[in-house]
Amino acid sequence: MVILKIGSKLALILALGCGLTAVAASVEEQGTPAQEKPALKALMPKGLLIGAAINQRQSDGKDALAGAIVERQFNTISPENILKWGLIHPEPKRYDFEPADRYVAFGQAHGMAVIGHNLIWHNQTPAWVFTEADGARSTRESLLAKMQQHISTVVGRYRGKIHGWDVVNEAFDEDGSYRKTPWHEAIGDDFLLKAFEFAHDADPQAELYYNDYNLWKPAKRAAALRLVKQLKERGLRIDAVGEQGHWSLTTPTAAEIDATITDIAGAGVKAMITELDIDVLPRDPKMFGADLATRAQLKAATDLYASGLPPAQQQQLAARYGEAFGIFLKRHDLLTRITFWGVTDAHSWLNDFPVPGRTNHPLLWDRQGQPKPAFDAVVAQLQAYKGAP
Ligand code: XIL
């Protein structure tokens, strides 16, 4: 096989009669074939899981390329969409469990920690949840009853199979106030406490999490940590807080990432990075202003790397991932999980967010499933950590 792979170079070397040393050097030059790259999960410190969110084609076993990467590299999976309310419980009396059952079975078959994402969120939740049959807005009592029914049904079904649940997702605004959502509007501040109570009742063994983005912003982080305190004061359980980790090449800073992890741990729970990806395309808020012409123009102006990520940006991305993993390893005893939001760049949600139809490059594997320099940078950090005294 090796001979076939290095083809004409080997033939040339043999013809020149340079012997084995030269052959070895030639293999080296070609780089290690993708399948021989190390597995991230084998390099992680004990107690720190590494995983990816997978989409339905992947959990259905219909994406062999991503499937092979997930099986070899990771020991935890998250469902990109299929456990969200709108997908698993689209109508009041209808649950669509089959895709989620296959997702859970996929993780179990590979001995992975299977994550549940998510129970209570304002997005991807059908309008019927927040309205009554007569069209009126749901009351506190009615919405709490729906919440309890949904949580006990979904968590109950996967009791003992799902390792941990994102119980509430994205409940706070950037300034730390409660996000204005139908949940908050109808139930009030304690909707989060209720969700954690119902989740614990449905599976007392499953880990329970609060999950949000931009927790590196002190005001928002303070709100999440206040929630931890409130839950504990009421004798309710929360095991970890997840910073999603939808970051850019420059934001947040290393110090902000570090403070996020240490502050969460300081509140007496574990920290997790739950949806890691690094956006390489412009996201300047000015570009999304009202006067901004059309979406097509926005896409044209910002779809910078449609034909591939150039070497300089590959290196920038690699350095950024290396920096992040350096922090994760330094703080590994405060962290329980790092999950990428996707497997290869081909299916990252950032190809369509916040601008639809762009070509983004936020993950460790490119569109062909080849590991990028960013993958090597992560491996280098893990190997340096493993080799350290
Ligand atoms: C995203 C999915 O990746 C997309 O496929 C879907 O269209 C929208 O949601 N924060 C979260 C995730 O908690 O659930 C979101 O996932 C990304 C942002």
pLDDT along the chain (389 residues), means of 10: 34 35 37 72 98 98 98 98 98 98 98 99 98 94 98 98 98 98 98 98 98 98 98 98 98 98 98 98 69 75 95 98 98 98 98 94 98 98 86
Strand partners, 247: 278
Ligand 1 pocket residue status of 63, Cβ below 6 Å? no
Residue 205 CB contacts under 8 Å (≥ 6 apart), including other chains: 159, 160
Task: Compute the distance from residue 80 Cα to the ligand 1 centre, in Å.
Answer: 6
Record the tokens describing residue 328, joined without a space. Answer: 């994760």
Task: Give me the amino acid identity at 37.
Answer: K
- Map tokens 């919405």 to a residue: 143
Here the contacts of 35-43 (C-beta below 8 Å, separation 24 or greater) are 35/72, 37/371, 37/375, 37/379, 38/379, 38/382, 38/383, 39/72, 39/73, 40/73, 40/74, 40/378, 40/379, 40/382, 41/73, 41/74, 41/75, 43/379, 43/382, 43/383, 43/385, 43/386
From 29, 197, 275, 323, active-site residue: 275
pLDDT, one tens digit per residue, over 214-254 is: 999 999 999 999 999 999 999 999 999 999 999 999 999 99
pLDDT, one tens digit per residue, over 57-99 is: 999 999 999 999 999 999 999 999 999 999 999 999 999 999 9
Q: How far is residue 365 from each of residues 196, 251, 306, 359, 381, measured CA to CA in Å?
A: 35, 21, 16, 14, 17
Q: Which atom of ligand 1 is nearest to the CA of 55?
A: 5
Report the largest interatomic distance among the alpha carbons of the chain, rounded to a whole angstrom. 86
CA distance 366 to 244: 21
Sign of CA dihedral 210, 212, 216, 221: negative
Ligand 1 pocket residue status of 212, Cβ below 6 Å? no
